[in-house]
Amino acid sequence: MDLNDAGNGEWTFRQEWDDWLGRAFPMRDVWLGDELGGHLWVYAELPHAMPFRAEAALEDIARQIRQAVADETGISAAGTAPGFSARGYGVSLLEVSAGMPLKQTLYKSALEAIRNMGKTDPSASGSELHSEMERLLRERSIRSVYQPIKSLGSGEIFGYEALTRCPQPCRFDGPLALFGFAEKEGYAFALDRLAREKAIHGSPALSETQKIFINVTNGIMNDPQFVSGQTVRWLRERGMNPNQVVLELTERSSIDDFGAAKKILNHYRSQGYQIAIDDAGAGYSSLQAIVELSPDYIKVDKSLVRHADGDEMKKQMLLTFVGFAKRMNIRTVAEGIEREEELRLVREIGVDYGQGYLLGRPGDYGSPFCPPGLAL
């Protein structure tokens, strides 16, 4: 329907929704399409900076819209779709092809989105883990703890790694199970974003030279909201800047296109972020990522550090990592240091920083931060 020909009621309906969407998602191009059989049809334009995983990004936007509608109580338009907040959502990519009329393309895409609703409708799913994931995201109930990373030369705290923790009770058996399920079931963007926000807002007070290490999946490079600068706004709220942030690329998802990854990482580096490859030595993919991406930090996996003082093979691998890193001007972090003998060894062979229970256990290390507009 052409809005110029619409009646006043139709115009008011669309105007209210577009106004609300503009306020709820100020950094995104999202606008109302229509109401189809009780379903709201919403268009979302993805930025050119996000070349991959467009469907996953749309699912994340749809999930956020559904949650925002559920949370909103003062918008009259939200009442035009009874029960909307309790229903699922479906997405489809709108692909215009030569020879197919635009109306037919829109209709086909709408039907595909409606068919996909059954995959995300909590009443249709019956999955306890899906329901639990939806609850954690809705209640924002995950939290961050922080483990010190110390300079092996001076013994001073160089920074902290933010570690996500599940609330108790929780159906997920720890953060590995939580993030693994999110990656598999299409919640990765939403969970990574919430974990990143929690990590920044709860961060210990840092000096200008100290760092906060934040774990991100490789897929975060394709998150349009990350590209848009949401992380920078959280940092400013906390009185921090990107120069104090090291993004740890984890192996929860692999990098398929290193050329594209380099371009996107260079974009983040231009803003001041630094990059670390986590779990180095635990698998081939981390070694390839070091060669291809030239990170600022290599975090040596704890499996190589554990009892390396009595294992000549591990000792030689550590020496190889450290020698390579020094030639490439990359700093090294030894993870999982739990014994004095391990600490003595990594110091002797020239590792720059250390992390592990011997140097400091994960904890809060600071008072809670209250984001603007909230009260404790």
* Model confidence at 164: pLDDT above 60: yes
User: Looking at residue 347, what is its pLDDT?
Assistant: 97
Per-residue pLDDT of 65-98, as tens digits, reads: 777 776 664 443 333 433 344 456 778 777 766 6
**pTM beyond cutoff 0.85:** no
* Model confidence at 186: pLDDT above 90: no
DSSP H helical ranges for the chain? 8-24, 54-71, 102-115, 117-120, 122-125, 128-139, 175-185, 188-201, 224-228, 230-237, 258-270, 284-293, 302-305, 312-327, 340-348
Phi, then psi, of 61 in degrees rounded to 5: -65, -45
Query: Across the chain, what does the average pLDDT equal?
Result: 78
User: Looking at residue 306, what is its pLDDT?
Assistant: 94
Over residues 228-257, mean pLDDT: 82
Question: Bigger pLDDT: 8 or 349?
Answer: 349
Over residues 352-376, mean pLDDT: 74
- Provide the pLDDT confidence category of residue 48 given band limits of 50, 70 and 90: low
Q: How far apart, in whole angstroms, are the C-alpha atoms of residue 197 and residue 191?
A: 10
Neighbours of 291 (CB within 10 A): 11
* Model confidence at 367: pLDDT above 80: no
User: Looking at residue 258, what is its pLDDT?
Assistant: 76
